[in-house]
Amino acid sequence: MSENPESTPPILSPIAWQSGVLKLLDQTRLPREETWLECREPADVADAIRRLAVRGAPAIGVTAAYALVLGLDGAGEGAALGRRFDAVAELLAGTRPTAVNLRWALARGRQVFEGNREAGREAAQSALLRWAERLHQEDVETNLRIGAHGAERFRPGDRVLTHCNTGSLATAGYGTALGVITSAWRAGKLAQVWVDETRPLLQGARLTTWELERLEIPYELVTDSSVGMLMARALVDRVVLGADRIAANGDAANKIGTYTVAVVAARHGVPFYVAAPRSTIDPDTATGEEIPIEERSSDEVTEVFGTRIAPAATKARNFAFDVTPHELIAGIVTEVGVLEPPYEESIRRALAETDPSP
Ligand code: MRU
């Protein structure tokens, strides 16, 4: 059941900085094509984030960090430099509202900028690049720790269900929930993965499957609505999935359909875990009710890959995320351990901890 470590593929990152250009693996084209977008301006990056060419809360945060660096190209000095930074940060902040990692990265980027702007544009830009590269690397290290903590909760032979894509593609590398799944597989504790297809944009069917193929982890794809059937037949031992924002009380926003999985898991006594770095926890959001939920174009529901499937007059609502109340969550797997109820307390303690050394 365990994997030969010699055959372990290198950790993939969907983000690369090369000679002043930000390269992003275009996730709208996977799994058919592996194409890298080249972003030279913040507007290119904002467009890529909006179109979900780069997606997943931690990946969006790291991408935004590099976009701040691009934003200072050709900026003036003094007040003009400050105005440019503000404009770029505002452009990026407006791309996707739910994933808090975006705001988290922009707030940290601002601190780096403020600490270096007196030294001039070039120095501020170099400092931002060093910081973005560090963030990129730290995210991978964080995910490896999340993976190790999460794998401890698995028992040999477990069949796990996951939703959306939380792997290397959704982060700077290795993944959060899919990282836990990878670590559990490598520890010889996993029998198989159930992958929800994740309507409407099919992150599960297109991206999680692509990653699991690469990792040689056994999986089967199911429609989102199969979750009740699978659990009623006792074919799922554990659920692990990601989050875009976790409120201070442990309520967690994640890809639409997550709440349904949580309710069915509770009905069948299947432990439901959320895996996320501490940068996904928003202490300023008290409960899930305060989390802004992105609504996307109705075309994503009424069309499938550009082909209209509903009558022309059909109106559709396209909520990109839903909120799972904390009572349904067995544990929140972070880089500092698995947080357990009462979450207000465990979250407060986790956020107060200093970063674990690599
Ligand atoms: O709309 P997406 O594809 O960006 O949504 C992604 C998710 O919901 C993920 O589960 C979440 O961002 C965590 S990714 C490690």
Q: Determine contact, residues 244/203, Cβ cutoff 8 Å.
A: no
* CA-based R_g, the chain, Å: 20
Measured from the CA of 164, which atom of ligand 1 is nearest? 10
Query: Model confidence at 19, in pLDDT bands (50, 70, 90)?
Result: very high
Judge if the upstream peptide bond of residue 200 is cis by omega within 30 degrees of 0: yes
Percent of the chain predicted with pLDDT > 70: 97
CATH 1.20.120.420 residue window(s) in the chain: 5-142
Residue carrying the six token digits 């409120």: 247
Is the minimum distance from the CB of 101 to ligand 1 under 6 angstroms? no
In this predicted model, what pLDDT tens digit does every residue of 271-302 receive, in sequence order?
Answer: 999 999 999 999 999 999 999 999 999 999 99
Q: Could you tell me how many helices (H) and strands (E) the chain has, helices first?
A: 11, 16
| 21: β partners | 18
Q: How many residues does the chain have?
A: 358
CA dihedral 172, 174, 178, 184 (to 10 degrees): -160
From the CB of 56, is ligand 1 less than 6 Å away? yes
- Domain 148-352, CATH 3.40.50.10470 — does that match? yes
Q: Assess contact for 169 and 211: CB atoms under 8 A.
A: yes
Tens-digit pLDDT profile for residues 159-215: 999 999 999 999 999 999 999 999 999 999 999 999 999 999 999 999 999 999 999
Provide the terminal-to-terminal Cα distance of the chain, rounded to the nearest Å.
Answer: 29
Active site residues: 244
- At 255 the pLDDT is 98
- 75 CA distance to ligand 1 middle (Å): 33
Ligand 1 site, residue 58, Cβ cutoff 6 A: yes
Selection from 204, 254, 205, 260 nearest residue 228 by Cα? 260
Which CATH number, 3.10.450.40, 1.20.120.420, 3.30.70.260, 3.55.50.30, labels domain 5-142?
A: 1.20.120.420
Of all helices (H) and strands (E), which one includes residue 63? helix 57-71
Residue 1 has pLDDT above 80, yes or no: no
Ligand 1 proximity of 171 Cβ (cutoff 6 Å): yes
Q: Ligand 1 atom closest to Cα of 99?
A: 12
What integer is the mean pLDDT of 73-96? 97
- Check residue 356 and give its pLDDT: 55
- C-alpha span between 245 and 147 (Å, rounded): 19
Please determine, for residue 119, whether its predicted confidence score (pLDDT) is greater than 70: yes
237 Cα to the center of ligand 1, angstroms: 22
| Residue 324, ligand 1, Cβ within 6 A | no
> Is any ligand 1 atom within 6 A of the Cβ of residue 170?
yes
Starting at the earlier edge strand, list the strands of the sheet with 158-162.
219-222, 190-196, 158-162, 238-241, 272-275, 331-334, 337-339
CA angle 170, 174, 178 (to 5 degrees): 70
Task: Supply the mean pLDDT for the chain.
Answer: 96
Among the listed residues 72, 59, 208, the one whose alpha carbon sits nearest the alpha carbon of residue 143 = 59
* CB hemisphere CA count around 331 (13 angstroms): 21
Report the separation in Å between the CA atom of 112 and the middle of ligand 1, taken as the mean of its atom positions: 27
Q: Helix, strand, or coil here: 244? A: coil
Closest ligand 1 atom to the C-alpha of 57?
12
Ligand 1 centroid to Cα of residue 164, in Å, is 7
Measured from the CB, is residue 189 less than 6 Å from ligand 1? no
CA–centroid distance, 130 to ligand 1, in Å, is 26
Nearest to 288 by CA among 330, 326, 257, 328: 326
Instruction: Name the residue of 30, 49, 55, 224 to mutate for ligand 1: max ligand atoms within 8 A of Cβ.
Output: 55
Planar angle of CA 103, 59, 104, nearest 5 degrees: 20
Encoded tokens for 165:
């894509």
**pLDDT (tens digit per residue) in 294-318:** 999 999 999 998 999 999 999 999 9
CB 88 within 8 A of CB 67: yes
- Which whole-number Å values give the CA distances from 114 to 101, 117, 287, in the listed order? 20, 6, 31
Q: Which atom of ligand 1 is nearest to the CA of 175?
A: 15
| Predicted model pTM | 0.95
Residue 5 clears pLDDT 70, i.e. is over it: no
Dist. CA 23–CA 4, nearest whole Å = 31
Note the pLDDT of residue 233.
98
Q: Are 227 and 254 in contact (CB under 8 A)?
A: no
